[in-house]
Amino acid sequence: MKRKKLAVLSLLSASVLILGGCSSDGDSSGLSIEVPDIPMHEAMGEFEGELNIVNWSGFVEPAWTDEFTAQTGCKVNPRVAGTSDEMVTLMRTGNYDIVSASGDAALRLIVGGDVQPLNIDLIPNFGGEIAEGMKGNVYDTVNGKPYGVPIGRGANLLQYNSDVTGGAPESWDVVWETDSPYAGKVTAYDAPIYIADAAVYLMYHNPELNIKNPYSLDADQLAAAIDLLKQQNSIIGEYWSDPVAQITSFVGGNTVVGTSWEILRKFAAKENLKTTLPKEGSTGWYDSWLVSSTTKNVNCAYAWMDYTSRADVNGAIAMNFGMAPANIAFCATSEKAQAHCDEFAAEDEEFFKQVWPWTTPIETCLDGRTDVKCTSFQEWTNAWLTVKG
């Protein structure tokens, strides 16, 4: 309760601070968000000997952890999580030191006091050639303080079966409108953050709703997005959260169009399955390393972030997972690396300008509005569960 009051207070103070207005590109400068005061690590000390990581599948592999352990003596214990929500739950157990959080988990962890601000001076490999679009985003930089070290990013693309659709759909309308020619063969991502995809569509087609940032919705805008999702529910064949189920659904012909990642299309390995970025733009996941506020292995955690920021290691993770690396110095290291960077648009800022990075919605409006209260992730969650009936 006390915290809630604090939040309201902070909202008021935030509104004073950002009267000047703030750009809608998700930049955190000027936006003030109330976060618990957690001290950052001052100087490197002795390595503790182990590091417990919560990570996406494919982020932590012996191919690069062995060298790390040999260098630092920190034994790596990875724990794979399937969703952002699971990552948050795991980090809150206090049993893990570091997490590869997407933006929709990151801000939740920061605001909840589960992760600590970072001392960038202790991460020499950080910063050099981080892709422009991954610097200082609100999901990992709050009130000017960095909380995360970028790992990589990817867009939520529209995947389609070209045998059925012919060419590439120009618009997301094939997955949203009830008169879609592919009704019943549509797939959608099964998580509350997918509400932002509806908001992106509404931003383009319903300008009167005045949505400026898909993660910053007031109650009316959220209701409009939920209405659109309920409309979509009637033409959905399957929702997916498990990548394997999504791939088999596309390959087996049950799904013709729907949200996908570039890497899933690659895994499906079928000529007729293609991806496109429709005219409305899309959402995307931007992953960063965040360090637990209660970690006992803080030196190993810093060493890990520094090690994985190295161009070759960052590139190895990006190639293994199938995403654009954060450190674009990797692209120039070899022909194979360049091919990977091109395929995943790593250096293509124009492409990623159309992509809204996943960010946890919070009560403070991220688009700078101060006259309304925005809907929090908890409201998104409750609303999402009413969509699927």
Partner 1 sequence: MSTATESRPISTYLFRRPRVRLFSLLALPMTWIVGVYILSLFLLLITAFWYVDPFTSLVRPGFTLDNFQAVFTEPAYISTSLRTLWIALAVTILSVIFAVPLGLYMAKIAPAWLRNALAVAITLPLWAGYLVKIIAMRLVFTEEGFFNWLMAPFGIKGPGFSMPIVILTLTYLWFPYMALPVYTAIRQIPTNLFDASSDLGARGFMTIYRVVIPLITPAIIAGSVFTFSLSLGDYLAARFTGGATQMIGSMIAANINLNPPMAAAFSMVPITFVVIYLMVARRTGSLERM
CA–CA distance, 205 with 201 (Å, rounded to integer):
6
Closest to partner 1 by CB, 65 vs 84, is 84
Q: Does 252 bind partner 1 (CB under 8 A)?
A: yes
Neighbours of 46 (CB within 10 A): 8
In the list 236, 268, 316, 355, the residue contacting partner 1 (rule: CB under 8 A) is 236
Structure tokens at 278: 């429709």
Smallest gap from residue 165 Cβ to partner 1 (A): 15
Residue with tokens 């509005």: 369
Structure tokens at 259: 């949200």
CA–CA distance, 212 with 23 (Å, rounded to integer):
10
Give the up-direction half-sphere exposure of residue 337: CA atoms within 13 A in the CB hemisphere.
17
Q: Where in 177-216 is the site for partner 1 (CB under 8 A)? A: 184, 190, 192
Q: Does 353 bind partner 1 (CB under 8 A)?
A: no
Smallest gap from residue 354 Cβ to partner 1 (A): 28
Smallest gap from residue 125 Cβ to partner 1 (A): 31
Smallest gap from residue 227 Cβ to partner 1 (A): 13
Q: Does 89 bind partner 1 (CB under 8 A)?
A: yes
Closest to partner 1 by CB, 58 vs 112, is 112
CA–CA distance, 369 with 283 (Å, rounded to integer):
21
CA–CA distance, 157 with 197 (Å, rounded to integer):
11
CA 130 vs. chain centroid, Å, equals 16
Smallest gap from residue 355 Cβ to partner 1 (A): 24
Q: Does 254 bind partner 1 (CB under 8 A)?
A: yes
User: Binding pattern to partner 1, positions 96-135, x when CB under 8 A?
Assistant: ------------x--xxx----------------------
Tell how strand 257-260 and strand 157-161 pair up: antiparallel
Which residues on adjacent β-strands are paired with residue 189? Answer: 240
Q: Does 2 bind partner 1 (CB under 8 A)?
A: no
Give the up-direction half-sphere exposure of residue 67: CA atoms within 13 A in the CB hemisphere.
10
Contact status, residue 35 vs residue 116, Cβ threshold 8 Å = no
Structure tokens at 318: 């990006």
CA–CA distance, 69 with 222 (Å, rounded to integer):
47
Q: Does 231 bind partner 1 (CB under 8 A)?
A: no
In the list 48, 104, 363, 367, the residue contacting partner 1 (rule: CB under 8 A) is 363
Closest to partner 1 by CB, 36 vs 49, is 36
Helices (H), 99-253: 103-111, 162-165, 173-176, 195-205, 219-233, 243-251
In the list 237, 281, 284, 368, the residue contacting partner 1 (rule: CB under 8 A) is 237
Q: Does 217 bind partner 1 (CB under 8 A)?
A: no
Element holding 218 (H helix, E strand): none
Segment lying near partner 1 (by CB under 8 A), choices 40-48, 167-175, 232-240, 267-275: 232-240
Structure tokens at 366: 């991220």
In the list 12, 66, 253, 334, the residue contacting partner 1 (rule: CB under 8 A) is 253
In the list 245, 338, 343, 354, the residue contacting partner 1 (rule: CB under 8 A) is 245
Q: Does 233 bind partner 1 (CB under 8 A)?
A: yes
Contact status, residue 133 vs residue 354, Cβ threshold 8 Å = no
Which residues on adjacent β-strands are paired with residue 152? Answer: 287, 325
Give the up-direction half-sphere exposure of residue 220: CA atoms within 13 A in the CB hemisphere.
6
In the list 64, 160, 239, 286, the residue contacting partner 1 (rule: CB under 8 A) is 239
Q: Does 377 bind partner 1 (CB under 8 A)?
A: yes
Smallest gap from residue 191 Cβ to partner 1 (A): 9
Q: Does 93 bind partner 1 (CB under 8 A)?
A: no
Residues in contact with partner 1 by the rule CB under 8 A:
3-4, 7, 83, 85-86, 88-89, 92, 108, 111-113, 184, 190, 192, 233, 236-239, 242, 245, 248-249, 252-254, 362-363, 376-379, 381-382, 385-389
